[in-house]
Structure 1
Amino acid sequence: MTDYVLAVRVTGSPSAPEGVKSVDVTPPAGIDDVAAAAVEGLRSAGLTPADLRSRVIFLAPDDPGCLVSYAALCGFAGRRVDAYADGAVLEFSRLDLDGSAFVDAGRPDGHLVWAQAGGPGIPDAPGMPTVRLASNTPGLAAPEAVTVIRYAARLRMAAPASVRDALTMLLLIAAIRRRGDDRFPYLSTGTEPAPTTKDDPTQGIDLEKIRRAAADHRQQLRAARRGAEIVPPVPVPAHDQRVADANKTPITTVLTRLGAKADATGRWNCPRPDRHSNRDENPSMKVLADNRTRCQRCDAEKIGPVRLVIDVLGLTPDEAATFILDSKQTLDTRGD
């Protein structure tokens, strides 16, 4: 495990290898909402989205209840996270994301609201179909089992006693149910009563809700970081503000004061007639919607009021702003 950069632990997890940074994301006591507690465990550990860019491994304790924190970690990471359980490294991050590779037996005839999945020994669940997956070969799900897992609106998973098998079964189910993202099941004991509603809270712990809550937490941290990096606005110097104010003056007003006239089509004579072979008798300036203009001969790009005055009269930006804002003088630049 020494090629991992970060090891994530909960209560009862084995120690991280020497030289590997570790954090504890155990959900704190006293929070009734399981999803909120799992996210608070991430927050209390100080995890950031940047921490999850490196190779991360979840050190699982000998308790299938750790799937709660593992679901939160996957949601926060935005991907499947490798795990160490029962003495083995489980490289879930290398698994094929596409659960469609698991062949099903076709859609069920009616709408399947609830179903249960688990190991070979789980009893049938009341009020729903039950499918059994072999703990030692969970990848070999029969097509009939895949149909139930894939198309059930809600699925509860009775976790095997082995944490390694529980983690493997969880990600097998999540892959089969995948729609854009993995969809996690409810973590169940297999002894809950028959569900009465689609989102019956008595069916176990909603691991998908936890995964999504952790993903939302990641997005909030990213948004906060982007906001923190915004540099406060710098006050605009007075002379720059005058130039900005001058550029708000209608370009047609400035053209008129520079001696230009518009024809019936809305084109203007250029106030730099000496640059035109025919003194721009056929108007070549077009006024644009963004309060800028352009002469086809004189201007390489669109220009605003201040740049036009600078070019026509040979002034500085401050002098051009003064001409526009403080003077009412109209010039005869064309000599008409």
Structure 2
Amino acid sequence: MHKLTDYLLAIRTTGSPPAPEGVKTVVLEPAAGDDVIASTLAALRASGLTAADFRSRAIFLAPDGPAGLVAYAALCGFSGRRVDAYADGAVLEFSRLDHDGAAFPDAGPPPEFLLWAQVGGPAADGIPTVHLGSGGPDPLSPEAATVIRYAARLRLVPPDSARDALVMFLLVAALRRRADDRFPFLSTGTEPVPLVKNAPHQGIDLERLRQAAARHRQEQRIARRGAEIVPPIPVSPHNARLAEADRVDVRVVLRRLGSGAGADDGLWHCPRPGPHGRRDEHPSMKMYGDNRTRCHRCDAEKIGPLRLAVDVLGVTPDEAATFILDSDRVVDLRAV
């Protein structure tokens, strides 16, 4: 379990607790106004966050209650992954969760097209309303999973606890994920009755926010490709060592992490057993020609040997480089 001081970057929003001393802090604070999505995107752009910031350990400092879900959804969309959070005095390691909720059984597709549904809160007028369980091995029934998974539009009414609201949001997002994420609407508590077909005034469209945040990341990448060429800065010995570790054949690193190739389809077993049933019995890691790999369950994008070792061992990039380059340190690092 990580401590708050283990993180290198903390993202705050309105009402967030302060970051520990020595941890870099970025503020994502939307201006007050009726258009929550536009103000959140403006705050994301003004924050100066880049995709590179999420290569290090980053954590979202959640304010009390469910108000931080909007900023958190924007961060997930921008980073392309689940971001760890600090809520109600606890560090929540969401970045190691599986994005895909396909393992949750449902009762099968509904007999008729389900345009709207709601999860949480009091029963909504005219639409199915389901609830998550109170913990244990089965947090929701197959019937509730069907409603959450197949509703074209789902409104989420979160609990009052910041921690419980984040957990509920990520479970719902995992259940609704198909080829890509499908975030729900977030209830503001002022939705009109009866429910109308169109989305306006039916909550905050977190999926539209996610897509816009992802586009902002892509715009940053395009802007970097067209940037002015400047004289190169000499690489420090520290960064040269990290680069050397990242050039090691990723297949060699996978073997040292306890993985192996599948029988005949060119895929490898993922060395992160947590998100996989039966230790990834059916290989899920694909190899790419640029010495990178990607597990379709664990990774939002292709990763290299250094990032792989960081994720699997739960160590820093420096420690991962030592693991890759210095074979006599393997046992010590696995004990971290």
Q: In which range does the TM-score fall when normalised by the shorter chain?
A: 0.5 to 0.7
Secondary structure at the aligned position of 1:155 is classed as strand
What is the CA-CA distance between 1:189 and the residue it aligns to?
4.2
In 2: Cα distance, 1:137 partner to 1:168 partner: 14
What is the CA-CA distance between 1:156 and the residue it aligns to?
0.1
- In structure 1, the gaps of 5 or more residues are 232-336
Q: Could you say which residue in structure 2 is the equivalent of 1:194?
A: 194
- Is 1:70 aligned with 2:69? no
Q: How does 1:1-336 map to 2 (within 5 A)?
A: 1-30=4-33, 32-118=34-120, 122-136=121-135, 140-189=139-188, 192=191, 193-197=193-197, 199-229=198-228
Q: Normalized against structure 2, the TM-score is what?
A: 0.64
Report if aligned partners of 1:138, 1:168 keep a CA contact under 8 Å in 2.
Answer: no
- In structure 2, the gaps of 5 or more residues are 231-336
What is the CA-CA distance between 1:71 and the residue it aligns to?
0.6
Aligned length: 226
In 2: Cα distance, 1:39 partner to 1:151 partner: 28
Secondary structure at the aligned position of 2:22 is classed as coil
Runs of 4+ in structure 1 deviating by more than 4 angstroms, as ranges, are 135-139
Corresponding letter in the other structure for 2:102: S
Is the alpha carbon distance of 1:94 and 1:213 closer, same or farther for their aligned partners in structure 2, counting shifts above 3 Å?
same
Secondary structure at the aligned position of 1:202 is classed as coil
What is the CA-CA distance between 1:106 and the residue it aligns to?
0.4
Is the alpha carbon distance of 1:47 and 1:111 closer, same or farther for their aligned partners in structure 2, counting shifts above 3 Å?
same
In 2: Cα distance, 1:111 partner to 1:190 partner: 25
In 2: Cα distance, 1:70 partner to 1:139 partner: 25
Secondary structure at the aligned position of 2:117 is classed as strand
Corresponding letter in the other structure for 1:194: P
Report if aligned partners of 2:65, 2:165 keep a CA contact under 8 Å in 1.
Answer: no
Is the alpha carbon distance of 1:191 and 1:40 closer, same or farther for their aligned partners in structure 2, counting shifts above 3 Å?
closer
In 2: Cα distance, 1:191 partner to 1:205 partner: 11
Corresponding letter in the other structure for 2:46: S
1:66-117 CA-to-partner distances (Å, cap 9, x unmatched) read: 1111111111101111111011111111111221001000000000000000
**Aligned-pair identity (%):** 67
Report if aligned partners of 2:188, 2:204 keep a CA contact under 8 Å in 1.
Answer: no
Corresponding letter in the other structure for 2:29: T
In 2: Cα distance, 1:84 partner to 1:171 partner: 14
1:214-258 CA-to-partner distances (Å, cap 9, x unmatched) read: 111111011001111568xxxxxxxxxxxxxxxxxxxxxxxxxxx
Secondary structure at the aligned position of 1:83 is classed as strand
What is the CA-CA distance between 1:182 and the residue it aligns to?
2.4
What is the CA-CA distance between 1:166 and the residue it aligns to?
0.5
Is the alpha carbon distance of 1:25 and 1:158 closer, same or farther for their aligned partners in structure 2, counting shifts above 3 Å?
same
In 1: Cα distance, 2:15 partner to 2:224 partner: 33
Q: Could you say which residue in structure 2 is the equivalent of 1:249?
A: none
